[in-house]
Each structure stands twice: as structure tokens, then as C-alpha cells.
Structure 1
Amino acid sequence: MQAELHKLVGAIREFYAREGHLFEKDLGERTLTHRLAVQIEKHFPGWEVDCDYDRLGERTLRLPHGTVVSTDDHFGKSIYPDIVVHQREIPNNLLAIEVRKANNHQPLEHDQHKLQALTDPHLWFAYRIGVLVTLGKQQVTSSEVYVGGALDMSLSGFFAQQLKDVGLEAS
């Protein structure tokens, strides 16, 4: 999992190097998410990278009834991860990423709960790794890594340190 996180750090580094103007213009999270996905795709050959992807093979990505996670559609059924790294047809789900702007005042819990659900091995669409990144104008202001349906403190620390080592996360 560290290898995948290291690739993600490389993509984030390239994103900040190429897309600083997006922050200067204060563009929305969807624009940032798309441009970050473009960089991620370069680091994960053999994998598809999609934004707001709500499928698992032919099925719609839905949470079981009674889950703590709120949904992203007006029917209250589907969820849409911001960025996924996967193989669509198999399906093989590697990485789910939730992206936030540092000035987003919506509750952080929605993204955290979504990543807990998306990485829960007891659910049929589990991703191996979930990552929450909060993007500031110059660097990542916070990050979390989820594995097995829970926040993984060890991998979160590893990921934060990797970001710090390349100057992308504050100490």
C-alpha cells in the first residue's frame, strides 16, 4: 500500500506544479478533482482513473440501508467517490480519493464516513485504500488514509511524511 501512496504523492506534486492557477482563480473542487485525476492517471498505468464514478461492473455503487454515510444523489441511494483508481470491467478497486478545498466548511465527517464505507471489506465494492486530501493554495493542509473500513494511523502518518518530504504538507 505504501507504493500506491507514494505514486499518489508524485501525482499531487505534479498537480501543484502544473495547476497553481486553479487556486489563484479560486476554482471549485470538481475542477481541482478533475485536474488531480489527470495527474494520477499518469502514475497508475494499467488502471482506469475516473471522477464521480458510481458503478461496480454493471451495478450502481450503493450503500446498504442503515449505513452512517449520507449519499450523494437526490434519491439517497448512490455515492460518488471524487476520484477512483480501478479496473472497470473486472471490477478491481484499488484507490478511492476524496478531495476537499481547505476553505470548504462542510462537515469533514461526510468524506470520512464515505471512505470508511468504500474501504469496508464487508461491503461488496470495497476499495483497498481510501485517501482524504484537503488541498490548500500551496500544499496539502491535511490527509488521512483508510484501510479495512477504518482510519489507518500508520499509513496516514506515512502518507503525511511523504507529502512533507516533497514540501507538500505543513509540519
Structure 2
Amino acid sequence: MQTELNKVIAALRDFYAHETFLFEKDIGERAITHRFAVHLEKQFSGWSVDCNYDRLGERTLHLPHGTIISTDDHLGKSIYPDVVVHQREIPNNLLTVEIRKASNHTALDHDQHKLMALTDAHVWFAFWIGVLLVLDKDNVTISEVYVSGVLDQPLSRWFATRLEEVGLGMAR
């Protein structure tokens, strides 16, 4: 997993090196998410990188009934991850990333629960790794890593330390 997370860090380095305009002009989260996905795609050769992708083949990504997270459509069934690294036609979902701007002061609960659900091995389309990134104009203010439906504390600490080492994390 550290190999994949190092690729996320490399994408963040490229993102921050080339996308300062987005933060200078206070551009919305969807545009930021898209531009991050462009940089992430360069790191994952042979994989598809998509934003707000709600399918696996012909099937729509639906959360099971009784899931703790609200979903993103008016029927309350389908779910739209911000960024995914996957193979579109087969159930091979590697990584999902939820991105927030640091200026977004709404609670993180929705994104955290979404990542728990998206990485839950009991869900038929589970992603191997989930990452929460809260981005400020110069660095990542919050980062969390989810595996098997839970926040992975040791991996989250490792990831935050790596971000600090490359100058993208918040010093503790």
C-alpha cells in the first residue's frame, strides 16, 4: 500500500507545482478534484483514473441498505467517489480519493463515512485503499487512509509523515 500512497504523494507534488492558480482564485472543489486526477493519472500507468465515477461495468455503484452514509443522488442509492483509480470493466478497484478544500468548514463525517463504505470488503465494488485529503493553498492539512472499511491509524500516520518529509504536510 505504501507504493500506491507514494504515487498519491508524487501526484500531490505535481499538483501543487502546477495548479497554484486554483487556490489563488478560490476555484471550487470539483475543479481541484479534476486537476488532481490529471496528475494522479500520470502515476498509475495501465489504470483508469476517473472523477465522480459511479459504475462498475454496466452496474451502478450502490451502497447496501442501512449504510451509515447518505448517498449523492436524489434516490439515495448511488455513490460518486471524487477520484478513483480502477479498471472500468472488471471489479478491480484500487484507490478512491475524497478531496476537500481547507476552506470548506462543513464536517468531515460525510467523506469519512463514504471512504469507510467504499473500502468495506463486504461491498461488491470495494476499493483496496481510500484516502481523504484536505487541501490548502500550500499543503495538505488533513490526510487519512482507509482500508477494509476503517481508518487505518498506522498507515495514516505513515502517510502524514511522508507528506511532511516532502514539504506537503502540516508539522505536528
Say yes or no: TM over 0.5: yes
Mapped partners of 1:50, 1:83: distance in 2: 6
The residue that corresponds to 1:91 in the other structure is 91
Mapped partners of 1:62, 1:105: distance in 2: 27
Structure-to-structure mapping, 1:32-111, within 5 angstroms: 32-111=32-111
2:23 paired with 1:23: yes
**What stretches of structure 2 of length at least 5 have no aligned partner?**
none
Mapped partners of 2:83, 2:138: distance in 1: 21
Mapped partners of 2:105, 2:77: distance in 1: 24
The residue that corresponds to 1:167 in the other structure is 167
**What stretches of structure 1 of length at least 5 have no aligned partner?**
none
TM-score by length of structure 2 reads 0.98
Read off the aligned partner of 1:34 and give its amino acid letter: H
The residue that corresponds to 2:136 in the other structure is 136
The residue that corresponds to 2:119 in the other structure is 119
Mapped partners of 2:142, 2:87: distance in 1: 28
Read off the aligned partner of 2:124 and give its amino acid letter: W
TM superposition shift of 1:91: 2.3
- Identity among equivalent positions (%) equals 67
Aligned Cα root-mean-square deviation (Å): 0.6
Read off the aligned partner of 1:87 and give its amino acid letter: Q
Mapped partners of 2:72, 2:90: distance in 1: 24
Mapped partners of 1:98, 1:128: distance in 2: 14
Q: How many residues align?
A: 171
Mapped partners of 2:166, 2:21: distance in 1: 20
Structure-to-structure mapping, 1:144-159, within 5 angstroms: 144-159=144-159
Runs of 4+ in 1 over 3 A off after TM superposition: none
Read off the aligned partner of 1:35 and give its amino acid letter: R
Structure-to-structure mapping, 1:8-19, within 5 angstroms: 8-19=8-19
